[in-house]
Amino acid sequence: MFESKSGIFFIAGIGFFLLAFLGNGVVPMIMYKDRHEQTVEEVVNKRVMAQFRDLAQRYPESFHNAFGEPTEEACAEALRLGRQLYVGEGCWHCHSQFVRPVSNESRRFGPVSKSEEYDNELQRPVLFGTRRVGPDLSREGGRRSNDWHAVHFHKPQVVSTDSPMPEYPWFFDGSPDKPNRRGIAVMTYVQWLGSWLDEYPYYEELAEVTGE
């Protein structure tokens, strides 16, 4: 058995693989099977809508060309595109989306991550991350203004002097006050991160949500 073709093919090859898959993969799937996976339309909330409208006010011409009116439907589209770009540009290789219960992380970033935070379409596949060159972003939404993000994406060193982050001038039509569709989408996505938590730190008072 230990040196025969069938033993190696069926026991080691298929058997042990399936055993590990059952234990490490199927068990959590069964445990979480009753959880509802939210669609992008369902994760659009008041807070991200406030940021989305803020983008429309700050960059009216750019925004109108990119998404028309700041409707919930347009916001869902921006979130989808923003997440696709966040993955495609490799942001997740330097920024995690997962706050651990150790190493003072909850004091730096915010509440420790919970399982239900990841049950949505924008976490396919889940972006826990494995490396932090820059900080965790899962509670980034609202911490900084859209203007800050625009300047930062255009040339990070302007607002964060020693940052080793690359520049993303292709998110803009020439200058940071003219974000294009990609730029607005990515900013919407970043402002959405953490918007589902109890606390959402407003960098600036946004009139539409202060009464929330």
Partner 1 sequence: MTHGASAHHRSDGPQAGHAGAPSHDDLVDEKIIVCYYVAALTFLTISMLAGLLVALQLVHWNPFKGTELLSPGRWRMIHTNAIAYGFLANAFLGTLHWAVPRLTFHKVFSKPLSWFIFGAWQVVVLSTAFGIVLGPTFQDQPWILALAKKWHLPMNLGAQGLEWGETPFWIDPVALVGLALVAVNFMVPIGKSKGPMYVSLWYFMAAFVWTFLTYAMGNLLPEYAVAGTSAGAIGGLFIHDLVGLFVTPLGWGLMYYFVPIILKKPIWSHGLSLVGFWGLAFFYPLQGIHHFLYTPIPMFLQYGAVISTIAVELVVATVVINFFGTLVGRGKEFFDNLPIRYFYTGMVFYFITCFQCALQVTFTFQKLIHFTDWVVGHAHLVMFGVFSLWLFGIMTYLFPRLLGRPWWSRSLCEYHYWLSAGGLFVMFLDLTLAGIFQGYYWSSLQPWDASTNGSQPFWITRVFAGLAMFAGLLCFLVNLWMTARGAEATDPLPARAAGTPTA
Between 46-58 and 60-67, two packed helices, what is the crossing angle to 10 degrees? 120
Nearer to partner 1, 149 or 181 (CB): 181
Give the pair of three-digit tokens for residue 153: 């994406």
DSSP 3-state assignment of 38? strand
Nearer to partner 1, 33 or 210 (CB): 33
Residue 199 C-beta: closest distance to partner 1, Å: 19
Nearer to partner 1, 45 or 160 (CB): 160
Residue 72 C-beta: closest distance to partner 1, Å: 13
Residue 89 C-beta: closest distance to partner 1, Å: 5
Nearer to partner 1, 125 or 211 (CB): 125
Residue 113 C-beta: closest distance to partner 1, Å: 6
Nearest 10 degrees: Cα torsion 90, 121, 107, 186: 50
Q: Are 179 and 62 in contact (CB under 8 A)?
A: yes
Give residue 52's Cα distance to chain centre: 15
Nearer to partner 1, 45 or 87 (CB): 87
Nearer to partner 1, 101 or 211 (CB): 101
Residue 204 C-beta: closest distance to partner 1, Å: 21
Placement of tokens 């960059």 in the chain: 59
Handedness of CA 200, 204, 206, 212 (dihedral sign): positive
**φ, ψ of residue 175 in degrees (nearest 5):** -145, 160
Whole-number Å distance between alpha carbons of 73 and 63: 14
